[in-house]
Amino acid sequence: MMHRSRPCPATRADRARCNGHGRPRPGLRSGTNAFAGRSATATAAMVAMLALMLSLLWAPAAANVRIKDLVEFDGVRGNELIGYGLVVGLDGTGDGMRNAPFTEDIMSSILERLGVNVTGEQFRARNVAAVLVTATLPPFARTGSRIDVSVAAIGDASSLLGGTLVMTPLNGADGQIYAVGQGAVIAGGAAARGEAAQTVQGVPTSGSIPGGARVEREVEFALASLREIRLALRDADFTTAMRIEQTVNNHFGRAVAVMQDPGTVVLDVEATRRASAAHALGEIENLVVSPGRRARVVVDQRSGTIVMGEEVRISRVAVAQGGLTLRVEETPIAVQPNPFARGETVVVPRSRAEIEPRPGTGLAEVDGGTSLAELVAGLNALGVGPRDMIDILNTINAAGALHAELLVR
C-alpha cells in the first residue's frame, strides 16, 4: 500500500519548514526563527562594543575650558564698598546700649537728620543693631542698577532676624559714595531661647540683602581706547599661557597675542581688526583651551578634607601607621572627719591616667600606579580615616615619594 505524502502548505514560511516529504521539521514551531534571534542578539552586542571603543578613542584627554574662566581681563574688575549702618525692627535681639554706645550715637544722628531732637536723651531700645555693610561694585555697573550687599553685626546683638537696614551710604577706597543700601535683611541662621536654655543654628548675626543697594556713581573705564589688553591668568602656568596664545592666534589667523610671562598674555587690539576692544574680547572669551595644571594635594586639617587632582602620583612606598589612645579619669573622694571631731570635709582628688597603643595598619605597601583610581585604591588599602590619611600624606611628602604640591590649610 502506497502512502501519499501530504502537500506542503501554501504559504512560503510554512513550506520552508517542511522536509522533502511534506512533513514539518521537528523542533521548530510555526512563526519562529532561531537563527534570526541569535543573529540579532550578536549584532546588538557588536554595535554596543563598537560604540564603546569609539567613545574611548575619541574621549578628550583633558577638559576644555573657556578662556573667560581661566583669565581676568586687564581693567575689567570689581571694586569693594563698605558702609556703617543700622538695622531696626529686631525682636529684642539688638545691641545693648551700655555695651555698644556707638549704636546710640548713630541712632541719634539718624533721628536728628529726620528732624527729631534727641539731645540729652538716653535710649534703652533692644530692637536696633549697628552693622557693617559690604558689597562689590561689578565692572561696568551703571547708575541706577542694583547690587547685592552683606550685613554683619558689630555690637552684642544676638540675631538680625526680621530686621531692616535703613539707608546706608557705601563708600569706595577713595572715600566717595558709590551706592546706597537699604532693605530687609535675610539672616543666615536661626536662634531659639527659653528660660533656662537656648540654641543657635548657623550665624544669625550676619545676613544679606539681594539687590539691596542702588548704584549712584559709576567707575570710569575707557575700554574702547585701549590698544593692548592683558589677559591675567588666575593660576599662572607656562603651558596654559602658551596654549591660550596659540588658540587666539589660530582663531584670528595671525599673530595677535603674545605670552609675556606664565601669568600674562598680551592681546594687540588693532591686530585683531575688529571694530572695538569689546568685540575682540567677545570672540576670545568663548574660545576653549585645555589648561595645564600642576599636580596638587589640598589638605584642610580643620575639617579633615583631602582633595587631589588627577595628575598626582606617588612612588611605590611602604607605610606603617599606628597611634596612642590617652585616657584620663577623675574620681574625687570626699573625706569626712570622725563624729564630734573638730575637722572639715575635704575632697581628695583621685586621677587615673592610661596610655594605650592603638592597633595600626602594620607595614602596608602603597602602589603609586599610573592613574588617580589606582592611587586612591592604594591609599584606601591602608584602612585609615581622613585624619590619619593627612598625617600619612605629610610623611610621604617628607620622604620624597609624593610627586605633587602639598597645600595644608
pLDDT per residue as tens digits for the range 326-360: 566 778 888 888 877 777 888 888 777 776 666 65
The answer to whether 249 and 289 have CB atoms below 8 angstroms apart is no
Average pLDDT over residues 360-381: 66
The rounded mean pLDDT for the chain is 77
The pLDDT of residue 121 is 66
Q: Is the pLDDT confidence value at 361 over 60?
A: no
The pLDDT of residue 17 is 47
The pLDDT of residue 38 is 42
> How far is it, in rounded angstroms, from Cα 386 to Cα 392?
10
The pLDDT of residue 355 is 63
The answer to whether 85 and 166 have CB atoms below 8 angstroms apart is yes
> How far is it, in rounded angstroms, from Cα 263 to Cα 238?
8
Q: Is the pLDDT confidence value at 308 over 60?
A: yes
Q: Is the pLDDT confidence value at 49 over 60?
A: no
> How far is it, in rounded angstroms, from Cα 399 to Cα 239?
28
Give me the count of residues in the chain. 409
Cα separations (Å) of 204 from 93, 94, 97, 210, 282? 10, 12, 20, 17, 42
120 vs 218, higher pLDDT: 218
Phi, psi of 269 (to 5 degrees): -65, -40
24-28, 158-162, 166-170, 325-329: least confidently modelled range: 24-28
**What is the per-residue pLDDT across 239-284, written as a single tens digit (0 to 9) for each?**
999 999 999 999 999 999 999 999 999 999 999 999 888 899 999 9
> How far is it, in rounded angstroms, from Cα 67 to Cα 230?
13
310 vs 326, higher pLDDT: 310
> How far is it, in rounded angstroms, from Cα 205 to Cα 190?
9
Q: How confident is the model at residue 171 (pLDDT cuts 50, 70, 90)?
A: very high
> How far is it, in rounded angstroms, from Cα 322 to Cα 193?
45
Q: Is the pLDDT confidence value at 172 over 80?
A: yes
108-112, 219-223, 359-363: least confidently modelled range: 359-363
Half-sphere exposure of 3 (CA within 13 A, CB side): 5
Q: How confident is the model at residue 215 (pLDDT cuts 50, 70, 90)?
A: very high
Q: Which three cell numbers stand for residue 3?
A: 502512502
Q: How confident is the model at residue 176 (pLDDT cuts 50, 70, 90)?
A: very high
The pLDDT of residue 320 is 74
Q: How confident is the model at residue 39 (pLDDT cuts 50, 70, 90)?
A: very low
As a whole-number percent, the residues of the chain with pLDDT over 70 amount to 73
> How far is it, in rounded angstroms, from Cα 295 to Cα 293?
6
11 vs 334, higher pLDDT: 334
Q: How confident is the model at residue 20 (pLDDT cuts 50, 70, 90)?
A: very low
Cell 535683611 -> residue: 185
- The DSSP letter of residue 225 is G
Residues with Cβ < 8 Å from 111, sequence gap 6 or more?
Answer: 118
The pLDDT of residue 392 is 79
Alpha helices for 135-237 (secondary structure H)? none
The pLDDT of residue 35 is 36
Average pLDDT over residues 209-215: 94
Q: Is the pLDDT confidence value at 177 over 70?
A: yes
> How far is it, in rounded angstroms, from Cα 222 to Cα 220?
7
Q: How confident is the model at residue 94 (pLDDT cuts 50, 70, 90)?
A: confident
Question: Long-range CB contacts (< 8 A, 24+ apart) of 382-386?
Answer: 382/319, 382/321, 384/321, 385/304, 386/304, 386/305, 386/306
Q: Is the pLDDT confidence value at 44 over 60?
A: no
23-37, 158-172, 288-302: least confidently modelled range: 23-37
Q: Which three cell numbers stand for residue 232?
A: 591675567
pTM above 0.85, yes or no: no
Task: Determine the straight-line distance between the first and last CA of the chain, rounded to whole angstroms.
Answer: 103
193 vs 138, higher pLDDT: 138
Q: Is the pLDDT confidence value at 14 over 70?
A: no
Q: Which three cell numbers stand for residue 48?
A: 554596543
